[in-house]
Amino acid sequence: MTGKTRAGNFFEDFRVGHVFQHAVPRTITEGDVALYIALTGDRRALHCSREFARSLGFERETVHDMLVFHMVFGRAVPDVSLNSPANLGYADVRFQRPVYTGDTLRAETEVIAKRETSRPDVGIVWVHTRGFNQRDEPVLQFYRWAMVNKSDPKTATGDDDSPELPKQVAVEDMMVPPELDLAKFDPVVTGGDYFWDDYEVGERIQHPQGLTVEDAEHQSATRLYQNNARVHFNEVLQKKSRLGTRIIYGGHIISLAHAISFDGLENAIRILGFNAGAHANPTVAGDTIFAWTDVLEKADLGRDDAGALRLRLVGVKNIDPSEEDVPLRVTDPEKGREQYHPNVVLDLDYTVLMPKRREDQC
């Protein structure tokens, strides 16, 4: 061995306050956008139709918010989570400036906390990642925490710190693109009948589609983002794990559930932020993903043409929740504590920008 390769960072290698400047900035191409649509089936018009995007004041169709998230996330994986068996959650995820094809994204990540767990082989690391375009303008920022393998399970480090993170993205931090003009918003293009005014807090939207995850599809998606975490690709390694096989990248599950949620939320313009998110249980190839959305809150942004909807997107594997009741949480009979139902794979609290109904649309 020459010592010129890197095995990634283990739990002991992280230092609170350290900032990683991640390698390999990524220029987003039209091919990336087309492949994202092919791998997720997403149908949101703003990312598909140049003419629709221009009618709303944008230069052209924008890169899907989730593709931006994956690309920034992928920059950070080699430094942060190459040796992570699981990403556990997100907080205060803010989608800032729109991204267009031709933009080049880079990322940096600060380590903000770490602590050991009851398992001697892993610890938890909290980080804050920021993504920028070629003009050094911020396009995305998020907190996340991941389980990270230890290089020496027999030796305790004494790390016992966990941060207080924002419970939700503050309204004043939600970035509505200044160029957005909804005067010509045409619901015929989106296929949506419902506007901000039509949603009620407490209502549940059962999305009708289910998507079965294939190995080739999820690995192509994860490679697209240059996310090289070993748990997604190395079957030899994963056969030794508790699950016994490769794990689907949790972000791909978010994208699939978000694509499924198009039905019933067709008019949503863009994601403003993730307030909180958890990958409740792992998924593997062959699992079929279903989803429902609960409307948590309606926020007035001080605009006559649009408001914000705070939503809870729940992803479920192998049970269609429109046919069988799936509780979000159940009590573990052995441990006597509440936990996610074993078929719940995603619990995402997020906020979208939704047009208000114009007088001529009443």
- The answer to whether residue 320 sits within a structural domain is yes
Say what the pLDDT of residue 213 is: 96
Task: Tell which residue, 163, 130, 128, has the closest CA to residue 144.
Answer: 128
- The answer to whether residue 225 sits within a structural domain is no
- The answer to whether residue 338 sits within a structural domain is yes
Are residues 146 and 268 both part of a single domain?
Answer: no
Question: How far apart are the C-alpha atoms of 171 and 67, rounded to whole Å?
Answer: 23
Say what the pLDDT of residue 1 is: 47
Q: How many domains does the chain have?
A: 2
Are residues 209 and 351 both part of a single domain?
Answer: yes
SS3 state at 256: helix
Are residues 85 and 204 both part of a single domain?
Answer: no
Give the phi and the psi of residue 266 in degrees, each rounded to 5.
Answer: -60, -30
Say what the pLDDT of residue 51 is: 97
Contacts of 103 (CB under 8 A, 6+ apart): 27, 28, 63, 133, 134, 139
- The answer to whether residue 161 sits within a structural domain is no
DSSP-derived secondary structure for 160-182? B------SS--GGG----TT--G
Question: How far apart are the C-alpha atoms of 95 and 89, rounded to whole Å?
Answer: 17
Are residues 100 and 208 both part of a single domain?
Answer: no
Are residues 68 and 147 both part of a single domain?
Answer: yes
Are residues 197 and 341 both part of a single domain?
Answer: yes
- The answer to whether residue 45 sits within a structural domain is yes
Are residues 143 and 206 both part of a single domain?
Answer: no
Structure tokens at 100: 């267009």
Task: Tell which residue, 325, 197, 203, 315, has the closest CA to residue 259.
Answer: 315
SS3 state at 72: helix
Say what the pLDDT of residue 212 is: 97
Are residues 146 and 20 both part of a single domain?
Answer: yes
Q: How far is CA 344 from CA 241, 273, 324, in A?
A: 21, 22, 13
Give the phi and the psi of residue 318 in degrees, each rounded to 5.
Answer: 65, 10
Are residues 332 and 199 both part of a single domain?
Answer: yes
- The answer to whether residue 44 sits within a structural domain is yes
Question: How far apart are the C-alpha atoms of 132 and 149, rounded to whole Å?
Answer: 29
What CATH number corresponds to the domain at position 128? 3.10.129.10
Weakly modelled stretches of the chain, pLDDT under 50: 1
- The answer to whether residue 182 sits within a structural domain is no
Say what the pLDDT of residue 2 is: 57
- The answer to whether residue 169 sits within a structural domain is no
Say what the pLDDT of residue 52 is: 97
Are residues 343 and 200 both part of a single domain?
Answer: yes
Say what the pLDDT of residue 359 is: 75
What's the pLDDT tens digit per position in 287-341? 999 999 999 999 999 999 999 999 999 999 999 999 999 999 998 877 778 999 9
Whole-structure pTM value: 0.94
Q: Which residues constitute the domain of residue 139?
A: 10-153
Are residues 201 and 142 both part of a single domain?
Answer: no
Are residues 204 and 312 both part of a single domain?
Answer: yes
Domain boundary among 124, 153, 182: 153
